[in-house]
């Protein structure tokens, strides 16, 4: 009988780079247009639960070069497809920082209690505050990125895998109409509960200068009855983690949460959002507490004879990988038949139901993006730091995407980020869901094969960052 050669060391998901953090507040003024939910009976925000923030992480090789900026933004989206505010925000940031497009990811947390800062809403109550708010967000992004760059220092980034059961599947068959699905808690399907917890330790003094949390769960705790601006669960999650790390900034990165959300959601009580945030925060801290010191890996040392023959392991110093690569690849995603702008304008003109008109308006915004081409081209990001991979997608994606990528690259910590540069184009769902009466399937313009196309594009970017095929 053949014996498997035992594993004698465990390398962490770790990399060396120059890294810096900075944060700016982007809490909007009182009374800004904030109707994110069609079921809401109000248009203007009436206060603030917790502040909204931009958190920037700058990174570059310890050998120098242009910095790359990963920016977490407490926002559902960067405007919408009607006004293309996201393009404007990116362009202004790239110009100010003098970096190429591949070196900037603007990662929306996707909180549904942020203002809808789109010029298409300027005619609504509180819409007069949208234009100055867009300018406020641009200024905060640029300023935080510049400070993060100025604070670059030699550091070690370490990720570890944990779990949190906050997220649940939210594709629920309507019990009153089995021919359609509701977007609500489905206890019969297990959700991906993976938490990727990151720690950045400055080499010269071993101080934690920042943490990162990559988790897939829609920030939809707060629903149509909530009238307060809020980061949802992300706010109290940050407070928990930062309170335990000497207030080093926590950068939240939304994972592939297309079908994932809290079981208890759509409420008006902000205490529920705070409860959810503490749940994720403590899960992330448990993962952080289980990490070895930076720059060490667990190694088998020797056998020790005792009452039982014992295998003795301990953390030992090793040469932390320092390869840094930043890649962005254009990915063409297949589309399905979609009405033309002219057809949608005619439908809007004759539609009297407000909910139906809103859906038609969003279809029109997507139609303008599609044009006459057979597909929609979006950007797939692939960044590498040591044996950590950051992969970014510009849409909302089902968790199959992050699960498949982590299976594809088992020797790397895969940080799967969605809602990057997000302008509400919609969802990427697996093929088996495309023909269902499911919002996440009928809302977006994408056709069958879109999940595989996105996976192929993501893998192409990651393989290029790795310097070859995998």
* Tokens describing residue 353: 């139901």
Identify the band that residue 369 occupies on the pLDDT scale cut at 50, 70 and 90. Answer: confident
| CB of 344 closer than 8 Å to CB of 356 | no
Say whether 415 sits in a helix, a strand or coil.
Answer: strand
The 10s digit of each residue's pLDDT in 255-288 is 999 999 999 999 999 999 999 999 999 999 999 9
User: What's the whole-number mean pLDDT along residues 140-154?
Assistant: 98
Identify the band that residue 1 occupies on the pLDDT scale cut at 50, 70 and 90. Answer: low
Counting Cα atoms < 13 Å in the Cβ hemisphere of 160 gives 18
Counting Cα atoms < 13 Å in the Cβ hemisphere of 397 gives 31
Residue of 169, 253, 266, 166 whose CA lies nearest to 220: 266
Q: Give the whole-angstrom CA distance, residue 145 versus residue 147.
A: 5
Q: What is the pLDDT of residue 470?
A: 35
Q: Give the whole-angstrom CA distance, residue 454 versus residue 460.
A: 10
Q: Tell me, what DSSP letter sits at residue 259?
A: T
User: What's the whole-number mean pLDDT along residues 161-173?
Assistant: 98
Q: What is the pLDDT of residue 347?
A: 87
Q: Give the whole-angstrom CA distance, residue 366 versus residue 360.
A: 10
The 10s digit of each residue's pLDDT in 191-249 is 999 999 999 999 999 999 999 999 999 999 999 999 999 999 999 999 999 999 999 99
- Using CA atoms of 162, 164, 165, 169 in order, give the dihedral in degrees to the nearest 10: -80
Residue of 104, 300, 290, 305 whose CA lies nearest to 199: 290
User: What's the whole-number mean pLDDT along residues 377-393?
Assistant: 97
* Tokens describing residue 378: 């979006």
Q: Give the whole-angstrom CA distance, residue 470 versus residue 462.
A: 9
The rounded mean pLDDT for the chain is 95
Q: Give the whole-angstrom CA distance, residue 258 versus residue 255.
A: 9
Q: Give the whole-angstrom CA distance, residue 108 versus residue 244.
A: 24
Q: Tell me, what DSSP letter sits at residue 56?
A: E
Higher pLDDT among residues 134 and 424, named by residue: 134
Q: Give the whole-angstrom CA distance, residue 130 versus residue 293.
A: 46
Dihedral sign of CA atoms 437, 440, 444, 449 in order: negative
- Cβ density class 366-398: b for 16+ within 10 Å, e for less: bbebbeeeebbebbbbbbbbbbbbbbbbbbbbb
Q: Which helix (H) or strand (E) holds 93?
A: helix 85-97
Q: Give the whole-angstrom CA distance, residue 395 versus residue 381.
A: 12
Q: Rounded to whole angstroms, what are the CA distances from 114 to 29, 124, 217, 281? A: 11, 16, 16, 21
Identify the band that residue 469 occupies on the pLDDT scale cut at 50, 70 and 90. Answer: very low
Q: Give the whole-angstrom CA distance, residue 73 versus residue 243.
A: 20
Q: Is the pLDDT of residue 468 over 60?
A: no
How do beta strands 53-60 and 167-169 pair?
A: unpaired
């Amino acid at each position: 009988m053949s014996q498997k050669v035992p594993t004698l060391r465990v390398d962490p998901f770790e990399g060396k780079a120059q890294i810096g953090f900075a944060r700016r507040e982007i809490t909007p003024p009182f009374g800004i247009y904030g109707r994110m939910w069609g079921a809401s009976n109000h248009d203007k925000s009436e206060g603030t639960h917790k502040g909204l923030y931009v958190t920037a992480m700058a990174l570059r090789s310890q050998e120098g070069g242009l910095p790359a900026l990963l920016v977490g933004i407490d926002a559902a989206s960067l405007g919408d497809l009607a006004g293309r505010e996201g393009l404007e925000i990116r362009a202004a940031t790239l110009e100010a920082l003098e970096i190429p497009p591949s070196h900037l990811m603007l990662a929306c947390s996707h909180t549904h209690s942020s203002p809808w800062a789109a010029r298409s809403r300027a005619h609504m109550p509180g819409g007069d505050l949208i234009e100055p708010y867009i300018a406020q967000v641009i200024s905060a992004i640029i300023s935080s990125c510049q400070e993060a760059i100025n604070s670059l220092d030699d550091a070690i980034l370490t990720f570890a895998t944990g779990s949190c059961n906050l997220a649940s599947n939210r594709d629920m068959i309507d019990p009153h109409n089995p021919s359609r699905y509701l977007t609500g808690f489905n206890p019969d399907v297990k959700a991906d509960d993976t938490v990727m917890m990151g720690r950045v330790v400055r080499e010269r003094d071993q101080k934690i200068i920042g943490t990162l949390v990559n988790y897939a769960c829609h920030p939809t705790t707060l629903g149509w009855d909530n009238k307060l601006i809020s980061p949802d669960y992300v706010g109290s999650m940050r407070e928990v983690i930062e309170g335990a790390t000497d207030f080093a900034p926590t950068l939240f990165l939304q994972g592939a949460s297309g079908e994932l959300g809290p079981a208890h959601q759509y409420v008006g009580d902000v205490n529920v959002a705070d409860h959810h945030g503490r749940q994720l925060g403590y899960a992330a801290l448990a993962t952080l507490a289980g990490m070895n010191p930076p720059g060490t890996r667990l190694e088998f040392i020797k056998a020790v004879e005792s009452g039982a023959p014992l295998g003795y392991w301990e953390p030992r110093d090793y040469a932390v990988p320092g390869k840094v690569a930043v890649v962005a690849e254009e990915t063409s995603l297949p589309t399905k038949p979609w009405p033309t702008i002219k057809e949608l304008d005619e439908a809007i003109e004759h539609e009297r139901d407000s909910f139906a008109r809103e859906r038609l308006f969003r279809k029109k915004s997507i139609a303008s993006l599609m044009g006459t081409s057979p597909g929609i081209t979006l950007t797939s990001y692939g960044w590498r730091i040591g044996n950590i991979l950051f992969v970014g997608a510009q849409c909302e994606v089902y968790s199959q995407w992050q699960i498949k990528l982590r299976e594809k690259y088992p020797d790397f910590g895969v940080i799967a980020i969605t809602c990057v540069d997000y302008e509400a184009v919609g969802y990427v769902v697996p093929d088996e869901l495309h023909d269902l009466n499911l919002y996440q399937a009928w809302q977006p313009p994408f056709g069958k094969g879109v999940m595989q196309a996105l996976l192929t594009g993501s893998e192409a970017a990651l393989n290029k960052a790795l310097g070859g095929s995998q």
